[in-house]
């Protein structure tokens, strides 16, 4: 029988677009195949789902970085923080917020601008003015959005938008 503590809560306002109370739960993975501290990508149609077993339990979200869509499943999970394999962005799977802005800078979810930076204590890279710099400046990091999760019969079930399963 499922134990609720294996499912992490998420902010209700961050329910994934297209998911409602009527969305059917899909069987995505055996619970035993997602040990604590691990992540997996499961693709359903054209939707790539990230299953992460965080310190708070299992969460499901899109396997796309909220910055420029890199697969978070090949990044690193540390507690409840997932590190993107590109641009050093880190995202808190507890709150959905960025924990560290990508090196490219840009706008955070509240629209506040952050300049580009260089990791390792070196000085920040100056932005060469132009269309690319403008695109970087206006790229907004979104908050993580979540798919509801259930555990039943040793399986991880996830409610997905109907467009993913049509």
- The residue ranges that bind ligand FES (CB under 6 A) are 65, 67-68, 70, 84, 86-87, 89, 102
The answer to whether residues 6 and 51 touch, using CB atoms and an 8 Å cutoff, is: no
Q: How far is the CB of 121 from ligand FES (least distance, A)?
A: 20
Compare residues 26 and 100 and give the one whose CB is closer to ligand FES.
100
The residue among 87 and 94 lying less far from ligand FES, judged by its C-beta, is 87
Distance CA 20, CA 86 (A): 32
Min dist. Cβ of residue 70 to ligand FES (A):
4
Here the tokens at position 45 are 């149609």
Residue number with the smallest Cβ distance to ligand FES: 89
CB-based burial of residue 65 (10 Å sphere; 0-12 exposed, 13-18 middle, 19+ buried)? buried
Task: State the residue for tokens 């506040």.
Answer: 112
71 or 151: CB nearest ligand FES? 71
Distance of CA 165 to the CA centre of its chain: 20
As a whole number of angstroms, the distance between CA 119 and CA 121 comes to 6
In the complex, minimum distance from the CB of residue 23 to ligand FES, in angstroms, rounded to a whole number:
27
Comparison of 2 and 86: residue with beta carbon closer to ligand FES? 86
Q: Is the dihedral of CA 91, 96, 101, 105 positive or negative?
A: positive
Q: How far is the CB of 73 from ligand FES (least distance, A)?
A: 12
């Amino acid at each position: 029988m499922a134990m609720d503590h294996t499912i992490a809560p998420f902010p209700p306002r961050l329910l994934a677009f297209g998911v409602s109370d009527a969305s059917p739960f899909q069987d995505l993975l055996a619970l035993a195949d997602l040990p604590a501290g691990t992540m997996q990508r499961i693709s359903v149609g054209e939707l790539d789902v990230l299953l992460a077993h965080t310190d708070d339990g299992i969460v499901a979200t899109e396997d796309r970085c909220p910055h420029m869509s890199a697969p978070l499943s090949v990044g690193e999970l540390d507690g409840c923080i997932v590190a993107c394999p590109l641009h050093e962005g880190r995202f808190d799977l507890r709150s959905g917020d960025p924990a560290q802005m990508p090196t490219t800078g840009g706008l955070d979810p509240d629209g506040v601008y952050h300049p580009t930076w260089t990791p390792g204590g070196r000085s920040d890279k100056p932005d060469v003015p132009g269309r690319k710099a403008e695109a970087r400046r206006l790229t907004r990091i979104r908050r993580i959005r979540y798919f509801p999760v259930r555990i039943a019969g040793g399986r991880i079930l996830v409610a997905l938008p109907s467009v993913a399963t049509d």
